[in-house]
Structure 1
Amino acid sequence: MAQDLLVAERLEARIAERLPQLLLDVRDRLLTGWPDYAAFLDEDLEEIRDGAGLFLHRLMVLATSGLNDGARPLEDEQAVQVVFQQIGGRQWELGHDLTRLLTAYQVGARVAWRHVAECASAMDLPGDLIAGLAESVFDFVNHLSQASTQGYVQAQRADARARDRQRADLVDLLLSERSTMSAVRAAADRARWRLPARVALLLGDDEGELLSRLDASTLPVRQGDLAGAIIADPIDRERLARTLRGVRCVIGLTVPVELAARSVELAQIAFGLARDGVLGGCPVFVDDHLDTIIVHRDDRLLAFLRDQVLAPLEGLPVGARERLTDTLVWWLRHQGDRTAVAQELHVHPQTVSYRVNRLRELFGDALDSPRERSRLLLALNWS
């Protein structure tokens, strides 16, 4: 064992003499396919040389003690781990693909092994020690690759969390009546979201399903009872309908981005009506149902109006009142066409005539008044 340590120390000293050339060789090898990493070597050569010295010492410890003998970690190994985690994180920040970095590590490992092998051969070392050295080189590089991968993923997750927070702040501003466009633009820049000319608010039950069908240009909305997304420039309505087919959701009015907050109330009313079955369709487009939304904007007022205009039917048995109400609805919709009303109600036209005469007895001249007919239609047609 003492002899092995002595040999390892001599080998370490010999390779240490070659470290500057080794690093230059690695840099030259990276120039063709990885010029940015070659530049990194040039800029941080001293720091990398220190790390390479630690790598070399660790290599000798592993080679002499055996990979599976539980060699004790070096005191500075954690520092190297952190450095390579930072390198991985930096690759994410620069927008580089992680595979390029890991491939560059393998290139560096092959160059390093060539130098190690040359030194070992010149010293006429035994084959088992050379084999241990080879395994140690690539095992250590794998550890460094894992550290950089961990740093890359951590930076990716941190960036995603930061972006989510920034986008949530942007949504708060977009949906606030008190925000200014200068504040919105600044928040959009921070969130790296291209500010569109027009937007629409999408609301639905299943936020996860909605977002899975939309692209990255949408902003998730999670505000109190609101769950959905803000859609940028929703020009292609047919494509949007296909994308969201089968999902219970409401697509609000398309408005200039500075008016996004004003579209919230209508979208919420429409979503409530869709949930109650008043509005049909998956998805529901608010601009197709503005009349219904206007009527139902305040259910209390609609109920008061309905009670008022249907007062002549008070006192009738429930069944008779319902039949006359249904007849009145279709009579108003078909502008007095008794044949069409009969088809809608699946009754004989004479039955319709009887019911209409009964309605005239109860409502009197109101059925011939344009204003009263409008009030009746408003109260009944959207209920």
Structure 2
Amino acid sequence: MDESPSSPAPRGAADLQLDADIGAVLRDRLPAVAAQTVAAVTEEVPSYAGGFSGTMGDNIEAAVQMALAGFLKLASGSRDSDPSTPHGPTLEGAYALGRGEARSGRSMDALLAAYRVGARVAWREMADAATKAGVAASTMARFAELVFAYIDELSAASVAGHTDELSTTGRVRERYLDRLARNLLSGASADVLAASAERADWPEPRTLTAVLLPAAQVRGVLSLLGSGTLRVGDELPGLEDSEELSLLLVPDMEGRDRRRLLRVLAGKHAVVGPPRPWLAARASYLRAARVVDLVPAPDPPAPLDTEDHLVDVVLGADPDALADLRTRVLEPLGELRPATAQRLGETLRSWLLHQGRRDDVAADLHVHAQTVRYRMGQLRDLYGDRLDDAQVVLELLLALHPPAGEDVVLPDDED
């Protein structure tokens, strides 16, 4: 805010010296002018309709009267050694008014409209009084210029206050939202999370869904998601190279909305966790992080839905246990040549998955049905009756499941 004598209103006041008697007449009209200004604003600016009643109305009317009194001091040349002295408090009040509008969640449109209405009404009433007091036409012209220069300065001060408040509260809220997201990732208690959400003025959703994606792609995705989406841009727990990834926690993306989320992520290397109650968002993140570690990114880029990789997550939960299981249940194949063991293992897996339907197994492996029969004869010799044991069948299916994103590669058939 420029409060120096070089700003427009003090400069204009230097060229306009109202007679003391005229100034007194105008000051006598201030209460009526202030009341009419407030009434006009209330009627013509919908955002303020009903908002200036009771004590609030009295306060606003007093503020308008103070602003008009400040203007008359300028117009009358009633300044001390510092010409900006009466002007400064008025600008400070306008600045505070702009900040108050931002805190109330209103844009500057309503306040600027109020200034325009106020300037029109104030000028009409004060010009009428000045004309009746015999002010010359040339003086009236300069008087009008000063009125609107003064209103422009008040408007500019309010805009500055509004901008500063949004900037300050925006940075503060961003910090609160970041703290909320990190509390969710750390598994903080429900009381801590509820307090964090309230402090950040963040509406609590039903669920949150974790989305991991390259940091460079976050801006474009965020523009297509709801404003309640939380973001963590670095130091993601439990992930190697986490500096290359960002996390989004997206509200209420279950059911049909999940399909919409996947469409938004089309063509991107994203991993989408399961929806979880918002207090349990950490579980969604941990699932997505596991799939990042277990499942290779597709080429061309496409989102990975963790719901399609639950088997990989289960089998990858304890790699040592899975390795021990494979060693034990695949021991009968251990004495064979590697190429033969691989072919028989693939045949056994297909046989178990297709419940012994030989033609289906042959189609799956692209071999003749007689080849399937021959190989299964070899496997019966190696495993015996254990192939009829449900527990052994389960263990074999787990042991023979290929690593995520990979196919079992068979050598050329030598049968």
TM over 0.5: yes
Counterpart in the other structure of 1:239: 257
Q: Relative to 1, partners in 2 of residues 1:132 and 1:339: Cα closer, same or farther, differing over 3 Å? A: farther
Conservation of the 8 A alpha-carbon contact between 1:86 and 1:151 = yes
Aligned ranges for residues 1-383 of structure 1 at < 5 Å? 8-10=17-19, 15-33=26-44, 34=48, 35-37=50-52, 40=56, 42-43=58-59, 45=61, 48-58=64-74, 74-75=84-85, 77-118=87-128, 121-122=131-132, 123-127=134-138, 130-177=140-187, 179=189, 181-196=190-205, 198-205=206-213, 206-221=217-232, 224-225=235-236, 227-232=246-251, 234=253, 236-245=254-263, 246=266, 248-255=270-277, 257=278, 259-276=280-297, 282=303, 284-286=305-307, 289-314=309-334, 319-360=339-380, 366-383=386-403
Conservation of the 8 A alpha-carbon contact between 1:341 and 1:352 = yes
AA paired with 1:91?
E
SS at match of 1:203: strand
Counterpart in the other structure of 2:3: none
Residues matched between the structures, number? 363
Q: 1: distance between equivalents of 2:108 and 2:29?
A: 29
Q: 1: distance between equivalents of 2:259 and 2:207?
A: 16
- What's the Cα RMSD here? 3.8
Q: 2: distance between equivalents of 1:106 and 1:91?
A: 16
Counterpart in the other structure of 1:65: none
Runs of at least 5 residues in structure 2 that lack an aligned partner in the other structure: 1-12, 238-245, 404-415
Q: Relative to 1, partners in 2 of residues 1:55 and 1:272: Cα closer, same or farther, differing over 3 Å? A: farther
Q: Relative to 1, partners in 2 of residues 1:163 and 1:114: Cα closer, same or farther, differing over 3 Å? A: same
Q: 1: distance between equivalents of 2:355 and 2:230?
A: 46
AA paired with 2:195?
A
AA paired with 1:89?
R
Q: 1: distance between equivalents of 2:161 and 2:14?
A: 34
Q: Relative to 1, partners in 2 of residues 1:333 and 1:113: Cα closer, same or farther, differing over 3 Å? A: same
Once the 2 structures are TM-superposed, how far is the Cα of residue 76 of structure 1 from its aligned partner? 5.3
Once the 2 structures are TM-superposed, how far is the Cα of residue 109 of structure 1 from its aligned partner? 0.5
SS at match of 2:17: helix
AA paired with 1:338?
R
Conservation of the 8 A alpha-carbon contact between 2:273 and 2:284 = no
AA paired with 1:153?
T
Q: Relative to 1, partners in 2 of residues 1:6 and 1:333: Cα closer, same or farther, differing over 3 Å? A: closer
TM-score of the superposition, structure 1-length normalised?
Answer: 0.77
AA paired with 2:261?
T
Deviation digits for residues 9-49 of structure 1 (CA, Å, limit 9, x no counterpart): 32656544433332232123234343435765621555544
Runs of at least 5 residues in structure 1 that lack an aligned partner in the other structure: 62-71
AA paired with 2:289?
Q
SS at match of 1:350: helix
Conservation of the 8 A alpha-carbon contact between 1:170 and 1:188 = yes
Q: 2: distance between equivalents of 1:160 and 1:7?
A: 43
Q: Relative to 1, partners in 2 of residues 1:147 and 1:356: Cα closer, same or farther, differing over 3 Å? A: farther
SS at match of 1:9: coil
Deviation digits for residues 300-357 of structure 1 (CA, Å, limit 9, x no counterpart): 4334433554455457666555444433332221122221122122222233334334
Conservation of the 8 A alpha-carbon contact between 2:315 and 2:322 = yes
Q: 2: distance between equivalents of 1:240 and 1:312?
A: 45
Q: Percent identity?
A: 30
Q: Which structure has the highest helix share of the two?
A: 1
TM-score of the superposition, structure 2-length normalised?
Answer: 0.71
Conservation of the 8 A alpha-carbon contact between 1:250 and 1:271 = no
Q: 2: distance between equivalents of 1:54 and 1:117?
A: 17
Once the 2 structures are TM-superposed, how far is the Cα of residue 82 of structure 1 from its aligned partner? 3.0
AA paired with 2:69?
G
Q: 2: distance between equivalents of 1:44 and 1:178?
A: 45
Conservation of the 8 A alpha-carbon contact between 1:213 and 1:244 = no
Conservation of the 8 A alpha-carbon contact between 1:249 and 1:284 = yes
